[in-house]
Homo-oligomer: A and B are copies of this chain.
Amino acid sequence: MQRKTVGVAERPAFADTIIKGDCVAALEQLPSASIDVVFGDPPYNLQLESGLTRPDQSVVDAVDDEWDKFASFEAYDAFTRAWLLAVRRVMKPDASIWVIGSYHNIFRVGTMLQDLGFWILNDVVWRKTNPMPNFRGKRFTNAHETMIWASRNPNSRYTFNYEAMKAFNDDVQMRSDWLIPICTGSERLKDDAGHKIHPTQKPEALLARVLLASSKTGDVVLDPFFGSGTTGAVAKRLGRHYVGVEREQGYIDAATARIAAVETAPAATLELLKGKRSEPRVPFGALLERGLVTPGAILTDARGRHQARVRADGSLESGERVGSIHRVGALVQGFDACNGWTFWHVHDRGQLTLIDDLRKIVRDEMAAAGA
């Protein structure tokens, strides 16, 4: 009997590389129809003019890089059209694309996507737990960014890991608004002097949810504005391949070193949930995003009689039993139902911590954001 490699393509030669150069020109090096998912974080065209200071007179370190300067909306539209066309050529017919932006540019991106025949599947709102305040009290706090998720054309059979997203979100459908902190602390790349390497580094939690939702292991993910390489780091961690395009050597160097330090999660933890399920309540996935629980971690009950392994999508596995924290908790005990939050514990330096206690930490964040 022959083994069929269903959905497991050969790893292409360009996989896991960063191509130096302008987005459109560099993409000509890639063959047509070779990419499974695209994540694009293009310049936002902020067009900031005067400096901004906080009430304490400290200066806000704004985005003032050359790559964010455009002469007009027309120029930005031409730029957007060009890179979207170049990206579409290398997308497989069933590939999908994500583009992130703010109100400065996202409406133009969305219009261009529609005009070029892409098919919008969702607009997804990244709600920031800790946005920068509005220092002048003249507008609402700009507390979110928008991602557009679109397929290559209206008939694409794009990947959407519905059950995995549902398990991630504690067995209710994943919504179009995601609450995730901005990239700070040790995750934020800094140079020897402690200055941030990239002005707009995205949080890995955001990319992780994007890739878990819309790609399979072994897929090739293209990021045409690679920057500090968040897409590549998360792709590698989740067992996907990446291709990056980046103009500046400094970013390429930083991203290369960053990705080299990433380890791919064990294959078993990357299996996505497939079947049907049922049960309620607050996202276990958020604990993973916050790093309070890591994929591959072992959960046990209070007396250590049962154990289960955490998978990257927030589901658990214990032997052949797979499902949400509630479902697996019920299965290992032979019960019909179980509140996973008050059943499972994590080990941390010899201590047992109830995951419900970890949830309290996240709840405080959510409460702070008005969730």
Interface residues of A (CB under 8 A from B): 53, 57, 73, 102-104, 106-111, 113-115, 120-125, 127, 131, 133-134, 137-144, 146, 148-149, 160, 162, 165, 169, 173-177, 179, 213, 275, 333, 335-338, 369-371
Q: A103-B148, A125-B144 are in contact. Are A177 and B176 (CB under 8 A)?
A: no
The answer on a CB contact under 8 Å between A103 and B131 is: no
Q: When chains A and B are docked, how far (Å) is the Cα of A125 from the Cα of B123?
A: 11
User: CB distance B108 to A141 under 8 Å?
Assistant: no
Within 8 Å CB of A124, what residues of B?
140
A131 partner residues in chain B, CB cutoff 8 A: 175
Q: Are B139 and A160 in contact (CB under 8 A)?
A: yes
CA A125 – CA B120 in complex, angstroms?
Answer: 18
24 contacts between A and B (CB under 8 A): A73-B114, A73-B115, A102-B123, A103-B122, A103-B148, A107-B110, A107-B113, A108-B114, A111-B111, A122-B140, A125-B127, A125-B177, A131-B175, A133-B173, A137-B162, A137-B275, A140-B213, A141-B173, A141-B175, A143-B175, A143-B176, A144-B177, A177-B177, A179-B371
Contacts of A175 on B, CB cut-off 8 Å?
131, 140-141, 143-144, 369-370
Tell me whether A123 and B146 are in contact (CB under 8 A). yes
Distance of A108 Cα from B102 Cα, bound (Å): 15
Residue of B nearest to A157 (CB): B138
Residues of B within 8 Å of A146, CB to CB, are 123, 146
The 3 closest A-B pairs by CB, nearest first: A107-B110, A143-B175, A103-B123
Bound CA–CA A143/B333 (angstroms): 32
A140 contact from B53, B139, B173, B338, Cβ within 8 A: B173
Instruction: Closest B residue to A339 by CB, please name it.
Output: B55
| Alpha-carbon separation in the docked complex, A138 to B151 (Å) | 12
Given the complex, which residues of B lie within 8 Å of A113, measured CB to CB?
107
Smallest CB–CB gap between A187 and chain B, Å? 22
A225 to chain B, nearest CB (A): 20
Whether B335 contacts A142 by the Cβ 8 Å rule is: no
Among A120, A125, A165, A335, max chain B CB count under 10 A is at: A125
Q: Which B residue's beta carbon lies closest to that of A121? A: B139
A337 & B57 in contact (Cβ 8 Å cutoff): yes
Q: A57-B335, A107-B106, A179-B370 are in contact. Are A142 and B122 (CB under 8 A)?
A: yes
Contact A177 B111, beta carbon cutoff 8 Å: no
Nearest CB in chain B: distance from A12 CB, A: 28
Q: For residue A144, which residues in chain B have a CB less than 8 angstroms away from its CB? A: 125, 175-177
- Chain B hits for A134, CB < 8 A: 173
B residues near A104, Cβ cutoff 8 Å: 120
Given contacts A127-B127, A179-B370, 11 further A-B contacts (CB under 8 A): A57-B335, A57-B337, A103-B122, A104-B120, A106-B110, A107-B114, A131-B175, A137-B162, A140-B175, A143-B177, A179-B371
Residue in contact with A165 in the complex, picked from B109, B111, B140, B143, CB distance below 8 Å: B140
